Amino acid sequence: MKEDEFMSPETAVRVIDALDEGLSEINRIRVHLYGGEPFINLPAIEAMVKRAGDKKPGRIGFVVTTNGTILSDAVIDLLEAGKFDIVLSIDGPAEVHDACRKRVDGSPTHRDVMRFLETVRSRTSCYVTGAAVIRSGWRLLYASEYLRTLPIDNVKAQAVRLAAGTPYALTEEDMKLYQQDLEAIGRQVIKELEAEKVPMDRRFAGRVMKLLIKGEGLMRYCDAGKSNLGITPSGVVKACLLVDEEDAVLGHVNDDVEVWKQAGLKWQERPLRKKCTSCSYLQLCGGGCPAVVPVCGDEECKIVHKECDVANVIYEHFSDKQENLLGLVGIV
Ligand code: SF4
Ligand code: SF4
């Protein structure tokens, strides 16, 4: 993020007001801050948390994705005040993490991340997700096992989304291992659900819930444009910050909320890609992530197919005790 792209505290306040006003049909709004590194702009986050405090209790919640390198009393106090859910980037042990995540001066960051995690654990009640990016040469299963050794609540480890052939993108061999590892994670989820525990890895939850409710009609991959919105530092409202299409720009937080709401609904209704309309995974996939599919193409579909297959295995496993599946949404 360039310095002139920092969100001002005034815009931050307007974001909270606009979401409160525009998403009146949603009980609890979650504002997810990611970047760049969000903690380089504390005044905007402070302004958001303060404004959220003026709304109905519990109406606005916060999530932040951070690289864990900015640690101060102000950051910790803000995390606790906003009751943030924290998504902390930790790719793996030091040698794996530090190979890609360095400061501008080239120094490693794994030790800083561990210090951040310890401090968050000892001084806040925040829910913490450990998030690893899986790249060529680093397996999903190894990342998942490593994250499970840390004092975190939730494991999130996903393949880097890059075009095939670019540095760090999974090779064909990496992809095979990734798919095998998804099966292994599925078996682990079954074990946890059998033990009536909330699984640490929730990646299959959405698809298992789709199978459980046997919903009629097509459910899109995500609610981008409808109840998921992206807002840029200058206050432009988009269907999702990661989607580059021109029509994904819906309006501005200073507009009448109906402007971006109606544009978002229209965007959500756009036609599916031709390839998706004849895909046997469509019902469970919903047409793929509009930000990732244009970049990764068929490689993304390979991951989606396996995730759908594993979701089916989990669902079938509990066909005579479906109540156990509620563990996937945190109900045990
Ligand atoms: S798996 Fe791929 S082709 Fe099939 S619906 Fe999803 S994005 Fe479309
Ligand atoms: S378009 Fe993709 S990245 Fe954006 S909200 Fe939907 S799933 Fe997430």
| Model confidence pLDDT, tens digit, residues 104-130 | 999 999 999 999 999 999 999 999 999
Could you tell me if 22 and 90 lie in one domain? Answer: yes
Whether 244 maps to a domain, the answer reads: yes
- Report how many domains make up the chain: 2
Which of 222, 231, 245, 270 is the pocket-test mutation for ligand 2 (most atoms within 8 Å of CB)?
222
Instruction: Look at residue 230 in the predicted model and tell me its pLDDT.
Output: 97
Closest CA to 129 of 66, 82, 204: 66
Task: Looking at the CA of 226, name the nearest ligand.
Answer: 2
Whether 32 maps to a domain, the answer reads: yes
CA of 288 to the centre of ligand 1 (A): 5
Distance CA 87, CA 33 (A): 10
Tens of pLDDT, residue by residue over 48-98, are 999 999 999 999 999 999 999 999 999 999 999 999 999 999 999 999 999
Whether 164 maps to a domain, the answer reads: no
**Please, what is the average pLDDT of the chain?**
95
Could you tell me if 95 and 39 lie in one domain? Answer: yes
Could you tell me if 53 and 188 lie in one domain? Answer: no
Could you tell me if 97 and 198 lie in one domain? Answer: no
Distance CA 129, CA 45 (A): 20
Could you tell me if 132 and 214 lie in one domain? Answer: no
CA of 322 to the centre of ligand 2 (A): 28
Could you tell me if 153 and 179 lie in one domain? Answer: no
Strand partners, 129: 87, 154
Instruction: Look at residue 1 in the predicted model and tell me its pLDDT.
Output: 41
Using a cut of 0.75, tell me whether the model's pTM lies above it.
yes
Whether 272 maps to a domain, the answer reads: yes
Which of 160, 203, 242 is the pocket-test mutation for ligand 2 (most atoms within 8 Å of CB)?
242
Does 36 sit behind a cis peptide bond, omega within 30 degrees of 0 on the bond before it? yes
Please identify, among 110, 127, 159, the residue that sits at the C-terminal boundary of a domain.
Answer: 159
Using a 6 Å cutoff on CB, does residue 304 contact ligand 1? yes
Which of 293, 307, 309, 312 is the pocket-test mutation for ligand 1 (most atoms within 8 Å of CB)?
293
Using a 6 Å cutoff on CB, does residue 279 contact ligand 1? yes
The C-alpha angle with vertex 162 and arms to 34 and 36, in degrees rounded to 5, equals 20
CATH for 93? 3.20.20.70
Strand partners, 31: 62
Please identify, among 138, 159, 180, the residue that sits at the C-terminal boundary of a domain.
Answer: 159
| CA of 223, closest atom in ligand 2 | 6
Per residue of the chain (332 residues), give pLDDT as tens. 444 589 999 999 999 999 999 999 999 999 999 988 999 999 999 999 999 999 999 999 999 999 999 999 999 999 999 999 999 999 999 999 999 999 999 999 999 999 999 999 999 999 999 999 999 999 999 999 999 999 999 999 999 999 888 999 999 999 999 999 999 999 999 999 999 999 999 999 999 999 998 867 778 899 999 999 999 999 999 999 999 889 999 999 999 999 999 999 999 999 999 999 999 999 999 999 999 998 888 899 999 999 999 999 999 999 999 999 999 999 98
Instruction: Look at residue 4 in the predicted model and tell me its pLDDT.
Output: 53
Whether 283 maps to a domain, the answer reads: yes
Using a 6 Å cutoff on CB, does residue 243 contact ligand 2? yes
Using a 6 Å cutoff on CB, does residue 295 contact ligand 2? no
| Domain range for 52 | 1-159
